[in-house]
Amino acid sequence: MKLLLTSGGVTNPSIRSALVGLLGRPIAESNALVVPTAQWGHPMCGPASVRGVIAAGDDSEHLTGLGWASLGVLELTALPTIGADRWIPWVQEADVLLVDGGDATYLCHWMRESGLADLLPSLPDTVWVGVSAGSMVMTPRIGSDFVAWPSAPDDHTLGVVDFSIFPHLDAFPTNTLERAQRWAAEIDGPAYAIDEQTGIVVADGSTQVVSEGRWTAFGVPGAEGSTSAGGTFTTR
């Protein structure tokens, strides 16, 4: 699977170009499934916010509103009740999974419970576009500050990639660089703090930061520090 891990979605031309490169075709010719499941696990989300991303409205222009050839919904909490023989072909036929934010531990739980986590290794050409928790779920840990689901056993997630992500850098008063530094000390492993104009591409054994904004790397060889320049930065 090819990964585009973002904080705020496809928010600028650089991230959009990276997405098209991963797809290998225009967005308008690509079929997408949106996964809103993480929202149900976060106390700040609910029916109105889930409806917004599904409806691809103006507030979802950076994810579901990008102009896909087709857009469907994959609700992970429903999958165990309908049988894998029904939903697996839906995923296999999609070009991209658009995985929205919310609580990453809740999303992780339902990815495992539904069987989607087990299916991912068999989808080498499928693109995963994560927003916030939809990106963090692919990391080993998210840090205790980002666990909002009361039933989460800890802050561990899928570990598909070997680095963690602190999202929404500077987007909220609490998401400062100083807080990111404290978070990184708790994580105690390779990590990135990224703003809404930054994405991380993981494909073909390479990891690239794609940014028109601000990001900082913690414990990543060759990428320590931050940059505000556009373009891409290959970290490994």
pLDDT digits (tens, 9 = 90+) for 66-113: 999 999 999 999 999 999 999 999 999 999 999 999 999 999 999 999
Copy the structure tokens of residue 167: 């999202």
pLDDT band at 55 (very low <50, low <70, confident <90, very high): confident
Q: Is 151 exposed, middle or buried (0-12, 13-18, 19+ CB in 10 A)?
A: exposed
> Per mean pLDDT, which of 52-66, 144-158, 219-233 is the most reliable?
144-158
Phi, psi for residue 159 in degrees, rounded to 5: 70, 30
Domain residue ranges of the chain, discontinuous segments joined by +: 2-234
pLDDT at position 84: 96
pLDDT at position 221: 81
Average pLDDT over residues 34-53: 86
- Is the domain spanning 2-234 CATH 3.30.70.20? The answer is no
R_g over Cα of the chain: 16
Average pLDDT over residues 116-135: 98
pLDDT band at 43 (very low <50, low <70, confident <90, very high): confident
Q: Where are the beta strands (DSSP E) in 86-158?
A: 96-99, 127-131
Q: Is the dihedral of CA 178, 153, 102, 66 positive or negative?
A: positive
* Residue 160 pLDDT exceeds 60: yes
Do 216 and 225 meet the contact criterion of CB atoms below 8 Å apart?
yes
| SS3 category, 229 | coil
Write down the H helix ranges in 24-80.
Answer: 47-54
